[in-house]
């Protein structure tokens, strides 16, 4: 998300969060949702807006980390299907699904830890 600053003709400055490259109209619509303001106060093209969040390398890193953690979480889902195996080993308390459940939990935890450690805040 990018943070934009829009100055209205009245001089009042608004800070709006939006996607990178958001249009002026999108940002003004966002402001109108947040505050009950006069719709005519945003009539001219004299607005200035700029994004403070323009670091493309940070976006690339976050995308790569999200993809990597998603792979671990997806693998966790596939491995957890092994937990559907019914039954136990005869004469024991050991369920056949137990190793699959543990492996799925471990893979999901790796994905979650990657997100927490490497994604931008």
**Tens digit of each residue's pLDDT (9 = 90 or more) over 33-87:** 766 555 555 555 555 666 666 678 888 888 999 999 999 999 999 988 887 877 7
**What percent of the chain has pLDDT above 70?**
79
Q: What is the pLDDT of residue 106?
A: 93
- The verdict on 103 and 78 lying in the same domain is yes
**Is 28 a member of any domain?**
yes
Total number of domains in the chain = 2
DSSP E strand boundaries for 1-121: 2-7, 13-18
Q: What is the pLDDT of residue 40?
A: 52
Indicate yes or no: pTM above 0.75. no
Distance CA 91, CA 19 (A): 59
* Domain coverage including residue 10: 2-42
Q: What is the pLDDT of residue 42?
A: 55
**Is 49 a member of any domain?**
no
- The verdict on 84 and 108 lying in the same domain is yes
- The verdict on 103 and 68 lying in the same domain is yes
C-alpha closest to that of 83 among 101, 60, 104: 101
Q: What is the pLDDT of residue 84?
A: 81
Q: What is the pLDDT of residue 19?
A: 78
Answer for the pair 11, 4: CB distance below 8 angstroms, yes or no.
Answer: no
Please list, residue by residue across 67-103, b when 16 or more beta carbons sit within 10 angstroms of its beta carbon and e when fewer do.
eebeebbebbeebbeebeeeeeeeeeeeeebeebeeb
């Amino acid at each position: 998300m990018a943070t934009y600053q829009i100055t209205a003709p009245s001089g009042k400055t608004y800070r709006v969060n939006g996607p990178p490259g958001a249009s002026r109209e999108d940002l003004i619509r966002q402001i109108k949702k947040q505050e009950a303001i006069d719709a005519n106060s945003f009539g001219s093209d004299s607005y200035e807006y700029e994004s403070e969040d323009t670091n493309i390398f940070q976006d690339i890193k976050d995308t790569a980390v999200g993809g990597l953690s998603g792979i671990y979480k997806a693998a966790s889902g596939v491995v957890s299907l092994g937990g559907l195996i019914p039954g136990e080993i005869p004469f024991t308390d050991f369920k056949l699904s137990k190793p699959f459940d543990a492996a799925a939990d471990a893979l999901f935890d790796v994905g979650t830890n990657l997100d927490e450690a490497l994604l931008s805040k």
